[in-house]
Amino acid sequence: MATKVEKEKYRKIAELGCSLCRHLQLGETPAELHHIRRGNIPRAQAPVIGLCTYHHRGSNTSIHGMGRKRFEREYAITEEKLLEQTEKLIE
Ligand SMILES: [Zn+2]
Ligand SMILES: [Zn+2]
């Protein structure tokens, strides 16, 4: 279960909208939370970014549809960079 502090953080991240749409200057798009997997870190403790349905779950347009490598090549930005930008915005 997420703690109160985590929930507040997730809410802020979701409110920022899609991190990739923001990066691509497509404006604020409602976002879902995407967990960034790093090795064996449990999902609940993985850092989170916002991605719209299109960039989160779209078959040929998203991180889960294309896989991380293709996604990062396609949009010329890494997941970690999107995380860095997100963390900056919610400080
Ligand atoms: Zn998006
Ligand atoms: Zn995801």
Residue closest to 12 by CA, chosen among 1, 4, 23, 24: 4
Residue closest to 13 by CA, chosen among 46, 56, 57, 51: 51
CA of 35 to the centre of ligand 2 (A): 5
The residues placing their C-beta within 5 Å of ligand 2, an ion, are 34
Q: Encoding tokens for residue 16?
A: 């920022």
Give residue-wise pLDDT tens across range 36-63. Answer: 988 888 877 889 999 999 999 999 999 9
Distance CA 47, CA 58 (A): 21
When pLDDT is averaged across residues 54-73 and rounded to a whole number, the result is: 97
pLDDT grade, residue 1 (50/70/90)?
low
pLDDT grade, residue 2 (50/70/90)?
confident
pLDDT at residue 65 above 80? yes
Contact, 83 vs 49, CB < 8 A?
A: yes
Nearest ligand to the CA of 18 is: 1
